């Protein structure tokens, strides 16, 4: 199942810059781990914003929720999930 996921980061005011930098390092490591498992095939920065557009390839809504909530930045992001279906006019491989 493919999902478009849009994540907008809201840096917390209660963490110091150093504390938030540590969260971002942990986030990067977790994001790389999920990508290496093939579950997060696209990750794009939205130009000019602290947000991304991603494609996740997972088995279920539950798996997507578990992956997203495992991200260290999860408490500091607004996340929108859009389920995707194959388009009938899409060129096939």
Ligand X SMILES: O=C(O)C[C@H]1C=CC(=O)O1
- 73 lies in the binding site for ligand X (CB under 6 A): yes
- 67 lies in the binding site for ligand X (CB under 6 A): no
Measured over the CA atoms of residue 87, residue 1, residue 93 and residue 52, the dihedral's sign is positive
Q: Which of 2, 4, 9, 81 binds ligand X (CB under 6 A)?
A: 9
Q: Please, are residues 30 and 71 in contact by the beta-carbon 8 Å criterion? A: yes
Residue 36 Cβ vs ligand X, minimum distance, rounded to whole Å:
13
Q: Please, are residues 65 and 1 in contact by the beta-carbon 8 Å criterion? A: no
Q: Which of 20, 23, 35, 52 binds ligand X (CB under 6 A)?
A: 52
């Amino acid at each position: 199942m493919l999902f478009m996921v849009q994540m907008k980061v809201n840096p917390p005011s209660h963490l110091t810059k150093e504390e938030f930098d540590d969260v971002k390092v942990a986030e990067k490591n977790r994001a790389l781990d999920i990508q290496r498992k093939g579950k997060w095939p696209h990750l794009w920065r939205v130009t000019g914003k602290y947000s991304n557009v991603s494609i996740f390839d997972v088995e279920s809504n539950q798996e997507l929720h578990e992956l997203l909530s495992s991200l260290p930045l999860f408490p500091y992001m607004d996340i929108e999930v859009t389920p995707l279906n194959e388009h009938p006019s899409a060129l096939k491989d």
